[in-house]
Chain A
Amino acid sequence: MNDGAIELDKRPGRIEVSPAAISTAASRVILECYGVVGIADRKLKHGKAELLDDRRYHRGIVVSIQGESVVVDVYIIVEYGTRISEVANNVINNVREALQRMLGAASVRVKVNVQGLRISG
């Protein structure tokens, strides 16, 4: 198994899905979640959340393997004035569903970190 890729099948023949691929797939789902206005760097810059452009999404969507589960840490910026708990829950559900569909029966855990709020208009 190469550097931390996710192994899906133990039968003869083998599929490996790289964390980068999972991260890309997750980003598409996240950006369609209502209330999410962007993916943020997991590290704050001068104490502020930094919005990422699409080439750097991997810095805000961290995929790792813990035990049997694929764990996806998601760092997002949410629109000010939405109910954050509901937005975050929706992200969790949508990402989980999409990744489980994509990866077969793998167990997927999603952690949402709201890095900042955007106040528009």
Chain B
Amino acid sequence: MDALSGKPRRVLTGCDGHQLQGVVATATSWLVAHAPEVDALNVYPVPDGDTGSNMSQTMRAALDCALESRETDVGQFAARLAHGALMGARGNSGVILSQLLRGFARSIEAKRTISPLDLAQALADASAMAYRAVMKPVEGTVLTVARVAAERALEAAVERPEFSHVLSSAVSAGRRALAETRNQLPALRQAGVVDAGGQGYLFILEGALRHLQGKTEADYSTKAEPSGATRAAAAMHAQFEHAEGGFGYCTEFLIVGASLSEHEAREHLAKLGDSLLVVGNDELLRVHIHTEDPGRAMAFATSIGRLRQVKVQDMQEQHEEFVAEVLPPELKLVAPQPVNAGDALPIGVVAVAIGDGFAAMCESLGATVVPGGQTMNPSTQQILAAIDSCTQDTVIVLPNNGNVLSTAEQAAALSRKTVHVLPCQTMPQGIAALLAIRYDEELDDILTTMRAASDRVRTIEITTAVRDAELDGLQVRSGDVLGLVDGELKCAGSDVGSVVTELLEAMPADDYEIVTMYTGADTSDEQAQSLQKLLTLRYPRLTVEQHQGDQPHYQFILSIE
């Protein structure tokens, strides 16, 4: 390889650790930028997939780990990538990706530089390693895409040993294999999508190719829209650029005061830096900001309240710490909040909540909130941290989502405290359970009461289909309004009103008394008012209440009790 790279050729024929770093960085950004698209490739037409986010976070963890050591040997650099991916793997797709990286790293272990043929071989070894870790490999997934891309890469490397030729051949073969996944798995065919993991892997290869072609991440900076699912990716992207720039101070503090305004603080602080995060209530705000001038941020804080727990880190120096927080900012809020309305109570409650509105509601009911839910599956560690941050020895956990249940149970098992997980599947169930707590009773009675309260609640969720699909006999077209009852898709229609009424009729609504509407983050006032009007007119016997849930993806979540 050294011999190759030493030849005076115009085309790039050798790649060292430093060059690989550039390639992987661009590939990661490309994946991160497209994460929302990958998330949308959910077999279910409900926009709550997380493959893109999971793969992005895994790649980010890999890259951060590799950047930390700045290895110049390509083999060493790849080994750090693989290690980072292993430690940071999230979700099934993340585990597969980490295994691909492990195979890749293993293949070029001892090398200082690699040739195009080495690269192709490494892609092939990556695929082989990925296949080894599953007893019954399912074709039509990321495994297939990785294998087909690698096979073509090997052929290409023999034809013409140039990196760009190898990668562009791999990308086009991968793209064809990806399109084919639709025909390989019935679930994908029915939903009319390609495999999400395969698409994610293809974005990584494409990103790598773009780097060779001189197209860097600047190309897509305008792409990120600040809506719903893109927000997390955009935030990660912001962090990424920052890590690359490597300047400024990561500044964190709490502001304690009276009638603090989260909104005002955010507006003011936004001028001082980026990666800004302001969360809390009117008595306590937690602030996180990357700024060149921490002094000004703190001066502002002291002007509106008392400053607590100040932490300022030089981001260059503290890169390691920063790595530990690769998570999108929403996930960072788990840090134990020292002042908590629930502290004086005999039992602690941890609630996983999606949307600022729901989070605020849970907090006001005394719960320690772990942000998460539909797309941002919180990790075991986050829930565990929240459990440990409760001052009480007995803690009840409300997962508030079917997907979070097992994570919550795992956290419960890991904690030294007495932890009970109440298996509530939706936000309204969790709220009902929180409202039902009677702290003066025995623990068993409290749990029984909470469980009964949460079981009484029916939940309707309203969202928009992100593409055409046929599901359980329901024909769904992109843009259709979808109605779910207790997590199951029941009805699709053209407008919110008719879907909600159809579901209420089937319930039937006459058996219930109160409907609470929780509006989503992107729901307009008009939409909310017209639904409220419709419900009051149509069901005069029902009491209709309206709250802000601020949940992403779901225009409305209705609680019927």
Contacts and interface: CB of A to CB of B under 8 A. Distances in A.
Interface range for B: 20 to 34
A37 B134 CA distance: 5
A82 B406 contact: no
Contact of A86 (B90, B102, B135, B138): B90
A65 interface: no
B133 A34 contact: yes
Given A34-B95, A83-B87, A121 B129 contact: yes
Interface string A35-59: 1111000000000000000000000
A82 B129 contact: no
Contacts of B94: 83, 86
Nearest to B132: A120
Contacts of A85: 380, 410
B98 interface: yes
B134 A34 contact: yes
Nearest to A36: B135
Given A93-B406, A96-B406, A87 B132 contact: no
Interface string A97-121: 0000000000100100000000011
B136 to A, nearest CB: 5
Is chain A's interface secondary structure helix, strand, loop, or mixed overall?
mixed
Contacts of B86: 81-83
B92 A86 contact: yes
Nearest to A95: B406
A31 interface: yes
Contacts of B407: 89
A87 B95 CA distance: 7
B96 A34 contact: yes
B149 interface: no
Interface string B474-505: 00000000000000000000000000000000
Interface string B132-151: 11111010000000000000
A90 B132 contact: no
A35 B95 contact: yes
Interface string B99-140: 100100010000000000000000000000100111110100
A86 B410 contact: no
Contacts of B99: 34-35, 79, 81-82
A37 B137 CA distance: 10
B134 A90 contact: no
Interface string A67-95: 00000000000010111011101101100
Given A83-B86, A85-B380, A31 B95 contact: no
B95 A86 contact: yes
Contact of B406 (A34, A35, A38, A110): A110
Given A79-B134, A82-B133, A86-B95, 10 more contacts: A34-B133, A35-B134, A37-B132, A37-B133, A83-B94, A83-B95, A85-B380, A89-B407, A96-B406, A121-B106
26 contacts: A31-B135, A31-B136, A32-B136, A32-B138, A34-B92, A34-B134, A35-B134, A38-B135, A79-B99, A79-B133, A81-B86, A81-B133, A82-B98, A83-B87, A83-B89, A83-B94, A86-B89, A87-B95, A89-B380, A90-B91, A92-B406, A96-B406, A107-B423, A110-B406, A121-B129, A121-B132
List of 10 A-B pairs having minimum Cβ-Cβ separation, nearest first: A79-B133, A83-B89, A92-B406, A31-B135, A31-B136, A90-B92, A86-B95, A34-B134, A32-B136, A120-B132
